[in-house]
Amino acid sequence: MHLTRREFAKGLGLGAGSFALSPLLHQMEAHAAGRAEGFPRRFVFVVKSSGLTPEGIRPEGIEVGDGSRLLDLKLKDYDLPPTLRSLDPLKDEMMILEGLSGCNFQGNHSSYYGALSCHHSPEKPAAATLDCMLGKLNPAPFKNYGFSPNGHSIGNNYGPTVQDTAVFPRISAYGQNKPMPYQASAEKAYRQLFGSALDLKTGGQREFALNANLLDFLKDDAKRLAKRISQEEREKLDHYLAAFDSVRARNVKLEGMQEAISKNAPEFSNQYTSTVFTDRVSVFFDLASAALITGLTNTISIRADWLSVKYATFGFKRTSVHDIGHQKVTDNGLKRAAARDVIRKFQVEQVAKLAKRLKSVPEGDGTMLDNTMIIYFSDTGEAHHSQRREWPFVVVGGQGHKMKMAGRYLRYPKYAQEGHKTIGNWYNTILQANGGPRREHFGQLDAKLKDLDLRGPLSELTV
Amino acid sequence: MRCFGLLFFLFSLAPARGDEVFRKDILPMLQEYCFDCHDEDTQKGDLSLHRTGPDFSNKTDLANWELVLEQLEIVQMPPSKKKQPSAVERARVIEWIQEGLIKAGKGFAVQARLLLPEYGNRISHELLFDGSIDEVPFTPARLWRMSPHVYRGKRYQSNVSGGIEAEPVSYVSKSSGIRDYADQEIMDESGFLALRMAFSDIIASQMHDRELPGLSYGPNKDKPIRIAGKESFKAISESDEVPDDNVMGELIREEFERACGRAMTEEEFARYLAFMKFNVKEGGNEAGLKVTLLGIYLSSEAVYRLELGRGEPDEHGRSMLSPQEIAFALAYALTDSPPARNRFIKEALDGNKLQSKADVERVLRLMIADGSPPIRKNLPASMFHAMIQSAERGYGYYPRVVRFFEEFFQYPKAAGTFKDSPGAPVGSRALVGAPQGHIVRIVNEDRHVFEELLTSPRFNMNKTEMIGMLERRHAEKLKSTPKEQHPQLEEKHLKMLKRAEKDLNDDTFRSGMLHDQSWLIAHSTNDQNDPVHRGIWVRERLLAGNVPALPIGVDANVPEAHDKTLRQRFEVTQKAECWRCHKTFEPLGMPFESFTDRGWVRTGMFYNTKKKIFQTELKNDQMEAGLKKGELVKYPWDTTGEITGTGEPEIDGPVKDASDLVHRLAKSTRVRQSIIRHAFRFWMGRNETLSDSQTLIAADKAYVASDGKFSEVLVSLLSSDSFLYRK
């Protein structure tokens, strides 16, 4: 069921007066780029901490037995578990994926960059992560955008985490040693994403218009310096010069989107400066949907929480996610499993909210959700102290992504059994189905699984 | 290819090329040292060098030569029991293979090995220190990206309340080594975007007064925090009128000096003023100001340090740094602040006295004698506070001196090492603050610094001493506090005493940094001692040795079995294919079994018969109760190990325990020289090459001749040709 334009705008809660022409714009852009499918492929990675337990996302009544067999079931035959109920209306547009492993990407409570790059890289990125690769394959003015409620500030691996500036949650990377910053401040994210077309006091269109002047000035400045140094050192400066050109090209794209941006930009509200954790996360999801609908980016990564977070909204004022992982009973008397349920339910509701918004925007014969894949998972596999022999995923949307996902519960044989597969196979599947190069495997192989055939994508999903 | 040239000088052999060089120089060495095991008949490790020829375009040959290069560099082959080539012979083959690899298009890999800090030890220690090299040292002319710490030192933010300052760039180098390497750090698009994002935040937050929500705890709970904007920014951003040229001019000059560390020229001034006028006219005061500041803060000279060597070339083709360049180099050698903030450097520069080596040495000695006050950042607020806080000054307090030892010993990692077992009695900040205090004092005392760092008994966490200190501090505090507050203080004091009483023991043998809780925790896992990483640390940092990279496909996991002792768990590494590498580090890490994984002196190893596991950490009272009830069984523990590879007969050999280990190491020449090599890397921002041999030998001699003054090592390194000359 598609909403009317007015209903859509209202439902979006973004205050945009009318339905923007952005999907049309995408269509035009896609045609211009000569894409047969017509629409960009979009991705939203929602990364939780402290593990995503398979039991917590498994539909009711499914028996996995000793886990040695491949289970391929239809979601419509089962009830979703209580914490996933908000996804009920989307049951035939989602997939629950279990049984994959990622043992060799270790780290302290998190595989960090390893979770999306399949390289052991707890400290600094060893390779590009899947989200950044996809961002590159589906370019938009912002190739990737990341939201993280907190994280380590730039350059500070061991210091306190910060909440109101660009942070590095150590999840995404453009390439080896090139970590991707996430924005922790909703207010700043708003300016960065939508400022180019808005009349704001800081960071608005007046400032955006001066960017060309700034880049010219910096370029001139670098060239003056280049005259004074040797050819070899000039190479270092060339990297800096190239950055100016690349940013300028992005600005030109943004200039062409002014109308769509001003129409889709959310109404700025005091929610953007809220310090309540759940509010902040909720706003990130709102910003994400607005940015996708506007066409500002096609790939978004959201760090849904972090170990030190205390969900005060749910009465966990003095109990952090980490404490809960260590069996500490919450202030309001919830034991580990119950407390984790509360958190998961909240996060899945955010995913559902995002999915429903995208579903309300028509695109071609379907909706934007068909061309957007929302992937909910943990940075550390199946548990707080995980072995990563299981690494479960919930996928919503993305029916146009050329993978057989709709309405499926898929569980691969357990670790080291015949037919077992890894998250590397899964990422390979996503990448190949979305324009990535064919490759034997994604990332590093698990040495303990050398007897298994782990080449290629997951054949159960490929079209 | 500049850097390769550094190596090639050694062997200016005849114009013999390709096959001929191979046949004349390389093949005979292979025959003598390698063919015993790697000829057609034996082919140990599936490697036959018999048919491997000088053709690097042949895939098999290329792969073989890469393998050989690795083994030669890390001195794994020939095996220690076989006849060894001399250092010169080894270097000759290494150089020949590198040359071949470069020609085969593998230049990048070769270059990475020379430039990255993790490969620093690959250069032959023997050749560096035997005095056979008389090449004049220099550093390549370079741009050096500003470090995160320098950004902090530039004070882009005047008002930071509560949180930390944004560090807009991060190091690319491994966090387990020396961080700031000139060749590694490049400002590219991702860096530019991150920097612009951070600066936009910083500038915007200073254009107006702000109010932040209050803290959730403490006496000022929920009281809004007011942060004043910067006056010079506010004067423009909050005015409705176009600012006049003087106001803009003053701001530009001030912010340029902040960003670039020098006064701007008149030509630059005119350019920036025109830039700002345009911005303000087109974007209004606020946007105009912000974009202008971005233009200054992101200028090439604000993101890169310039070390080009602007003086006249000497007979070796090297040029000395210009006085301005020297001023920056010295300021950033010891501090994170630009030269204008140091009076000695500023006076010397203004008085035209930064022209020669002697000038540099003079300024350095003044800076060292003057010292720095204790830095307050990173210091613990808790009970170790007084151990560090004092009115004294010393050169050991210079931020960069502190940082060298941080990066060398890696102890700050302890704060981020997560422990499953019950909490330590002191917070993680104290865990880092305490050793920092000891190190600084040892450096300030400036006598046998390395030996003291490795063996000083002051690292003991002695219960009696700690309680005595708490009592002393408490008595002092009572004197300076009004009577009505005394009950509160008493209560707090009793709590601290109780904690110390319960959690601390009277240590007896703790000596030096490697016995400090912070170092031990930093080199441990969640719940176990980690002889692998401890051993690797000793091998690489103290013995200038190399550890082979983990072979691809090897699952290097020691089983996590809580019902086994550490030695039982490590039986897996005794297999021949593991032990070949493990023997280089494991025997160096095992003696630290003298401590528990939390760095407490081990008083027992306890098997819990009920839970059927070894308890990793037990409080004194738990232990006593458990033993009484018979739930705990005490096991013996094994602290033996072995030192190898120093080439010093009185040092090499079996080791009894952690104490024996560090006392022996402290006497080793190789250990002393290894620390100096690491200091060289830290202060030059690059790996040493053979042509730096003279610099290293001089620094080593300076240390020995001065009875172990680290200040002399610093003066020697920072006035060396390696530091001052560019080519």
B503 in a structural domain: no
Based on the structure, what is the number of domains in chain B?
A: 2
Neighbour count for residue A149 (Cβ, 10 Å): 24
Indicate whether A13 pLDDT > 50.
no
Which residues are A374's β-sheet partners? Answer: A44, A396
Helix (H), strand (E) at residue A259: helix A258-264
Neighbour count for residue B599 (Cβ, 10 Å): 23
When CB atoms are compared, the residue of B188, B190, B204 closest to A202 is B204
B653 in a structural domain: no
**Rounded Cα–Cα distance for residues B506 and B516 (Å):** 14
Q: Are residues B200 and B272 in the same domain?
A: yes
Indicate whether A346 pLDDT > 60.
yes
Q: Are residues B146 and B285 in the same domain?
A: yes
Nearest CA of chain B to the CA of A150: how many Å?
12
pLDDT at residue B506, as a whole number: 73
Mutate to test the interface with A, among B1, B2, B201, B727 (most CBs of A within 10 A): B201
Which residues are A161's β-sheet partners? Answer: A152
Nearest-by-CA chain A residue for B211:
A273
Residue A74 is encoded by which pair of tokens?
A: 């239809």
**Rounded Cα–Cα distance for residues B247 and B253 (Å):** 10
Indicate whether A123 pLDDT > 90.
no
Mutate to test the interface with B, among A49, A106, A233, A273 (most CBs of B within 10 A): A233
Candidates A247, A259, A193; CA nearest to A215 is A247
| Average of per-residue pLDDT across B153-171 | 58
Strands (E), A15-153: 42-48, 71-74, 94-98, 145-147, 151-153
Candidates A255, A305, A256; CA nearest to A284 is A305
For residue A109, list chain B residues with Cβ-Cβ distance below 8 A.
418
Lowest mean pLDDT among A55-59, B495-499, B680-684: B495-499
| Average of per-residue pLDDT across A266-273 | 85
Which residues are B605's β-sheet partners? Answer: B635
Indicate whether B691 pLDDT > 50.
yes
DSSP letter for each residue of B237-280: HT-SSPPPHHHHHHHHHHHHHHHHSSPPPHHHHHHHHHHHHHHH
Residue A138 is encoded by which pair of tokens?
A: 């589906």
Q: Where are the alpha helices (DSSP H) in B154-241?
A: 189-206, 231-237
Interacting residues of B407 by C-beta distance below 8 A, sequence separation 6+: B177, B178, B179, B682
Q: How confident is the model at residue B419 (pLDDT cuts 50, 70, 90)?
A: low
Write the burial class of residue B526 (CB in 10 Å: 0-12 exposed, 13-18 middle, 19+ buried).
middle
Examine residue B78 and say whether the peptide bond preceding it is cis (omega within 30 degrees of 0): yes
**Rounded Cα–Cα distance for residues B319 and B548 (Å):** 38
- Of B307, B326, B347, which closes a domain? B307
Nearest-by-CA chain A residue for B202:
A165
Interacting residues of B575 by C-beta distance below 8 A, sequence separation 6+: none
CB B555 within 8 A of CB B496: no
Indicate whether A17 pLDDT > 50.
no
Cross-chain residue pair B148–A155, CB shorter than 8 Å: yes
B280 in a structural domain: yes
B128 in a structural domain: no
Q: Are residues B300 and B166 in the same domain?
A: yes
Lowest mean pLDDT among A265-269, A276-280, A364-368, B331-335: A265-269
Helix axes B486-503, B620-629, angle to 10 degrees: 50
Residue B155 is encoded by which pair of tokens?
A: 């004070």
Indicate whether A31 pLDDT > 60.
no
How many inter-chain contacts (A to B, CB under 8 Å) are there?
168
Q: pLDDT tens digits, residue range A152-174?
A: 654 443 344 556 677 788 899 88
Given the candidates 1.10.760, 1.10.150, 3.40.720, 3.30.379, the CATH classification of the domain at A5-194+265-449 is: 3.40.720
The dihedrals phi and psi of B590, each to the nearest 5 degrees, come to -65, -35
**Mean pLDDT of chain B, nearest integer:** 86
| Average of per-residue pLDDT across B115-143 | 92
Q: Are residues B163 and B274 in the same domain?
A: yes
**Rounded Cα–Cα distance for residues A437 and A135 (Å):** 14
Q: Are residues B245 and B97 in the same domain?
A: no
Indicate whether A4 pLDDT > 90.
no
Indicate whether B505 pLDDT > 80.
no
The dihedrals phi and psi of B102, each to the nearest 5 degrees, come to -60, -45
B342 in a structural domain: no
- DSSP 8-state symbol, A142: B
Q: What ipTM is given for this predicted complex?
A: 0.78
Nearest-by-CA chain A residue for B551:
A447
Residue A247 is encoded by which pair of tokens?
A: 């940013």
| pLDDT higher at B30 or B295 | B295
Max mean pLDDT among A8-12, A13-17, B271-275, B526-530 falls in B271-275
| Average of per-residue pLDDT across B631-650 | 93
**Mean pLDDT of chain A, nearest integer:** 86
Map out the domains of chain A as residue ranges: 5-194+265-449, 199-259
Nearest-by-CA chain A residue for B560:
A387
Candidates B489, B507, B496; CA nearest to B467 is B496
Nearest CA of chain B to the CA of A387: how many Å?
11
Indicate whether A21 pLDDT > 50.
no
Indicate whether B165 pLDDT > 70.
no
- Of B115, B133, B153, which closes a domain? B115
Q: Which residue has the tokens 């200028």?
A: B299
pLDDT at residue B555, as a whole number: 65
B637 in a structural domain: no
Q: Are residues B49 and B147 in the same domain?
A: no
Q: Are residues B170 and B234 in the same domain?
A: yes
Q: Are residues B39 and B77 in the same domain?
A: yes
Lowest mean pLDDT among A246-250, A363-367, B347-351, B591-595: A246-250
| Average of per-residue pLDDT across B28-34 | 89
CB B614 within 8 A of CB B567: no
Q: Are residues B295 and B196 in the same domain?
A: yes
Q: Are residues B162 and B292 in the same domain?
A: yes
Q: How confident is the model at residue B111 (pLDDT cuts 50, 70, 90)?
A: confident
Task: Report the DSSP pairing between strands A408-411 and A94-98.
Answer: parallel
Cross-chain residue pair A447–B553, CB shorter than 8 Å: yes
Longest dimension (CA), chain B: 92
CB B370 within 8 A of CB B363: no
Domain of residue B11 covers 2-115
pLDDT at residue B360, as a whole number: 98
Indicate whether B617 pLDDT > 70.
no
Q: Are residues B176 and B300 in the same domain?
A: yes
Q: Are residues B174 and B229 in the same domain?
A: yes
Max mean pLDDT among A30-34, B300-304, B523-527 falls in B300-304
- Of B273, B307, B341, which closes a domain? B307
Q: What angle do CA B374, B379, B381 make, to 5 degrees?
A: 125
Q: pLDDT tens digits, residue range A223-252?
A: 999 888 877 778 788 888 888 988 888 888
Interacting residues of A35 by C-beta distance below 8 A, sequence separation 6+: none
Q: pLDDT tens digits, residue range B285-297?
A: 999 999 999 999 9
Indicate whether B317 pLDDT > 50.
yes
pLDDT at residue B553, as a whole number: 60
B43 in a structural domain: yes
